[in-house]
Chain A
Amino acid sequence: MKILVAIKQVPERDAQVHVAADGKWIDESDLNYTINEPDAYALEEALQLKEKTGGEVVVVCAGPERVTSTLREALAKGADRAIHIEADDLGSRDTLGVAQILADAMKSESPDLILTGLQSDDLGLGQTGVVMAELLGIPHATIIMHVEATGSGLKVKRELEDGWFQHVEMPLPALLTIQSGGNKLRYATLMGIKKAKTKETKTVQAAAATAPAIALDRVYLPEKQKKTEMLTGTPDQVAAKIVEKLKFEVRVI
């Protein structure tokens, strides 16, 4: 089975994030980047499928030069090849735009299965995978906890709400978006890193960005809403004011 895994590079979890001067995105200087966590699980699922059924795992990532470190890490963990879609302007592309350049790079590979994380740790839109499936014209399933290859297709386990799961059979080729925590991640090994040096990373240029349908207006840190008002007066007066506020402002009594 030929499996493509679309991964994204995101700022490290505990990074101290600051809003950039233009207020349109975060300040990227001084940030460390890592693989998007759900994508790490997608990669793990792909590697385990390959271990069971054989085939090839190819990782695909769009972004500037720095994303090659994440691709290398994926190769070290066991992916066979990597495709780097060179694009320095991901911020100015919307989900459709990003899905488009990923789909373009994937099409010529004619994969049996495409996996990606169900959402990204930075934007958290959860749409890229689904839009890609639409662009490639293949069926998809989201929030996948477990994948099993049957003779001709797949059996997948979807996570629903409230502790419910849905088991679905689907044909190939297909696209799945993978939920975090379904598998145990593997650690990168020295041998993996050394082998990764000999593995192929293909670089392709992203098509020029078209005008996005959705534009980011403003990025800001959560604003504190709590306001404290000190009530003054004698205890009787303060009590009366509290009752009034609870009755007419908070409306709980």
Chain B
Amino acid sequence: MVDVTLAAVTCAHPSGTMLFPAMWVSATLAEPAHFSWLETGLLAAGIVISLALFFWRFGPILRNILHSKQDADFSLHPVGRRVWDFFWEVLCQGKVIRQRPLPGLAHAFVFWGFLAFALVSSNHIANGLQIGFLSPESSLGKFYFLFAAAWALLVAVGITGLFIRRFFVRPIWFGKKVSIESGWIAFLIFLLMVSYLGAFFVSPGGAAVKALWWTHTLTLLVFLPLIPHTKHLHLVISPVTVFLKRDGFSNIPPLSGDEDFGLVAGKDVTQLISLQVYSCVECGRCTEHCPAANSGKVLNPKEIALGVRSYLNELGPVSDVALLAEARPETAFANLLSMEAAFECTTCGACEYQCPVGIQHVPVIVGLRRGATNTGVWEDTYGTKLFLALEKNGNALGLSAMERDKFIQKEAFPIFDGTQEYCLWLGCMGGYDPKGREIIADFARVMKYLGTTFGVLKKEKCTGDPARRLGNDLVFQTLAEAGLKAFETAKVQKIVAICPHCVRTIANDWREYGIAPEIEHHSEFMARHKDRLPKQASGESIVYHDPCYLGRYRDVYEAPREMVRQAGTLVEAPRSHERSFCCGAGGGLAFLGEEQGERVSHIRAAELAGTGAQVVGTACPFCNTMFRDALAEVSTAPPQLLDIAQLTARALPKMQETGIMDQGTGEQ
């Protein structure tokens, strides 16, 4: 029935305005000339009922948000950033349009149209209450109602487009369930617009004017109570959510007090999380970009938001019932928020980056992991092995620290003693992994070539990144404190590292325990000095893979590309920059066992190999290690796999190389 009505009206209205602008068409909006007191009374009653129904449904939601635990670390600062986000993401619809141009624009039309209609609707209702304030005959009225009419057209077109997309195109990330409510909402919005536009086509004073007026009014009154009940709640709260969201990208908040172990039960859900999950509009952008959801895993970031929302609806914000599904099999939403799903997240942040309503998925997922790991509920053979390795050996690979010492000796890396400019951070991969060591060694050659002095720490422990992302705050804190102390003791001023995970963890996550020296990624360092580094003329095609922790997390997209251009011809992957698809290693997953479903690394490797580039350029030792096997698996003639440090170092003159050895130059 919805379809029929829509089709009929859609045909009617362009023909009226565009093709036959004659006869009764007027540039002035026709408004009912008079309202009887009975009509006014009916309207008032309608408004009261509509508002009552709205608050009857919105009240519990608001209570759930307000009664959630306060965010201990919340601060309005920096307000400038918040105002900008609000302006760009809400008012300009920048994110919505940029990431999905066509539906985004359709949505923006509806949104801007609604804003334009604020004045129209207020006046419309005020007329019925006999206190109308904007006459269609006044010059402002003449202009504004026509202006609104233009928007009404755009809204009608936009909502029709969105309706067709939702019910006929049906992108897979909308999920299997067809939301009938969305259809009704679309119909009501359409009806609002048509009943408004219709008033330009009827002669003033006729019965049709009144009929249109009442149609418009009743549609408004029906629309209002539907808002809190459906995902259209985002109309009301998502502007607030965007303004209030936690500062920074994928920031994990500190635990507060002795009883806080992360998201264990409903009582641990904070106000920001509540606000965010109630804002979810189920658009599925997070799902569309999620490496887990796209490789046959249980995890679907949208369902994380909806799971917490279901929990709050069913059990409230002060409940002691566990959040994780495994511990509450009897609940109605036991299929949501499973521990399995929570531990499938690579923390790539694509979901959070894409979310148009300000939901920060990663802190929620990591929060669920913290709740499970900090209380010992998470039992995983690989996870336990990793934690014990970090506890005992201080590195994620579980190797003896002597292995690192031997490597440092072999490469003759100087020990940082305060006289050098940079502390070169090796990280677990650079210090222990064979391929990571090649990258570090090559980057050291680049530094030497540039004449930059550097030294390595005598002892170095993991930054705690995998522990942090897997929710082990004890191990993370121990390692962060040890690291901060090591830098302080050695009087380090500047750090450079080859691993974006190390950079992120030292620069951001350690802040919970102190301030680390300034750190940068080797791509940033090399790009700054690129004019002094040799340009290669080979023209070799190199496809660059954006690591999540360098791109989305650190906003560094250009620096590594500059180094790739220096080494050959840059080829862009189908998904690049902020849309880059994860290699599958992040969030500690590099250390966990075999994945469910398809391997994330294979999907990405196939995509990179599919560009036909001769070389895959990486900027993260974890991406590198993931692609090492994956490329061989997905391609019979796999492209070469090189870090940007290797791409740069290969062009350095041989003399320099032998010079580094401090001996044997005579043999050249």
* B384 adjacent to chain A (CB < 8 Å): yes
Contacts of B433 in A (CB 8 A): none
Q: Is A194 an interface residue (CB 8 A)?
A: yes
B478 to chain A, nearest CB (A): 9
| A26 CB-CB contact with B under 8 Å | no
**In whole angstroms, how far apart are the Cα atoms of A14 and B432 in the complex?**
14
Q: Which of A184, A192, A194 contacts B258 (CB 8 A)?
A: A194
Compute how far the CA of A34 lies from the CA of B392 in the bound complex, rounded to whole angstroms.
Answer: 8
Contact with B along A124-149 (1 / 0, CB 8 A): 00000000000000000000000000
A16→B261 CA distance, assembly (Å)? 36
Is there a chain B Cβ closer than 8 Å to A53's Cβ? Answer: no
CA of A13 to CA of B393, assembled, Å? 8
Chain B 371-391 near chain A by CB (<8 Å), digits 1 or 0: 001111000010110011001
Residues of B close to A12: CB separation below 8 A: 392
Check if A188 is an interface residue, CB within 8 A of chain B: yes
Which B residues touch A48, using CB under 8 A? none
Q: Which residues of B are found within 8 Å of A16, using beta-carbon distances?
A: 402
Residues of A whose CB lies within 8 Å of any CB of B are: 12-14, 16, 34, 184-194
Contacting residues, chain B, for A191 (C-beta < 8 A)? 261, 374-376
Quick one: which of A16, A185, A189, A190 has the most chain B CB within 10 A? A190
Q: Which residues of B contact A (CB under 8 A)?
A: 255, 258, 261, 373-376, 381, 383-384, 387-388, 391-393, 400-402, 472-475
By Cβ-Cβ distance, the 8 closest A-B pairs, closest first, are A187-B387, A14-B400, A190-B374, A190-B474, A189-B376, A191-B375, A14-B401, A190-B473
CB distance from A33 to the nearest CB of B (A): 12
How far is A96 from B473 in the complex, measured between Cα atoms in Å? 41
- A189 with B392: CB separation less than 8 A: no
CB distance from A121 to the nearest CB of B (A): 12
Prevailing SS type, chain B contact patch: helix
| Complex: A16 Cα to B459 Cα, angstroms | 12
Residue of chain A at shortest CB distance from B376: A189
**7 additional contacts (CB under 8 A) given A13-B392, A189-B376:** A12-B392, A184-B381, A187-B387, A188-B387, A190-B255, A190-B375, A191-B374
Q: Are A187 and B473 in contact (CB under 8 A)?
A: no
**B474 x A188 contact (CB < 8 A):** yes
Chain A residues contacting B383 (CB-CB under 8 Å) are: 187
Task: Considering the complex, give the chain B residue whose CB is closest to the CB of A76.
Answer: B474
Q: A192 and B384: CB pair below 8 A?
A: no
Residues of chain A within 8 A (CB-CB) of B261 are: 190-191
The smallest beta-carbon distance between B604 and chain A, in angstroms, is: 30
For B400, the chain A residues whose CB sits under 8 A away are 13-14
B369 shortest CB reach to chain A, Å: 12
On whether the beta carbons of A187 and B392 are closer than 8 Å, the reply is no
28 CB < 8 A contacts A-B: A13-B392, A13-B393, A13-B400, A34-B392, A184-B381, A185-B384, A185-B388, A186-B376, A186-B384, A187-B376, A187-B387, A187-B391, A187-B472, A188-B391, A188-B475, A189-B373, A189-B374, A189-B375, A189-B376, A189-B474, A190-B255, A190-B374, A190-B474, A191-B374, A191-B376, A192-B376, A193-B474, A194-B258
Q: Please, which residues of chain A bring their CB within 8 A of the CB of B374?
A: 189-191
* B residues less than 8 Å from A185 (CB atoms): 384, 388
Could you say which residues of chain B place their CB within 8 Å of the CB of A187?
376, 383-384, 387-388, 391, 472, 475
- Give Cα A192–Cα B391 distance, bound, in whole angstroms: 15
**A51, B384: Cα distance in complex, Å:** 19
Please give me the residue from chain B that is nearest to A37 by CB atom: B392
Residues of A within 8 A of B473 (CB): 190
**How far apart sit A34 and B255, CA to CA, in the bound complex (Å)?**
27
Which residues in A have their C-beta under 8 angstroms from that of B402? 14, 16
B60 to chain A, nearest CB (A): 32
Task: Report chain B residues within 8 Å CB of A194.
Answer: 258
For residue A15, which residue of chain B has the nearest CB?
B401
Interchain CA distance A16-B406 in the complex, whole Å: 13
A125: min CB distance to chain B, Å: 23
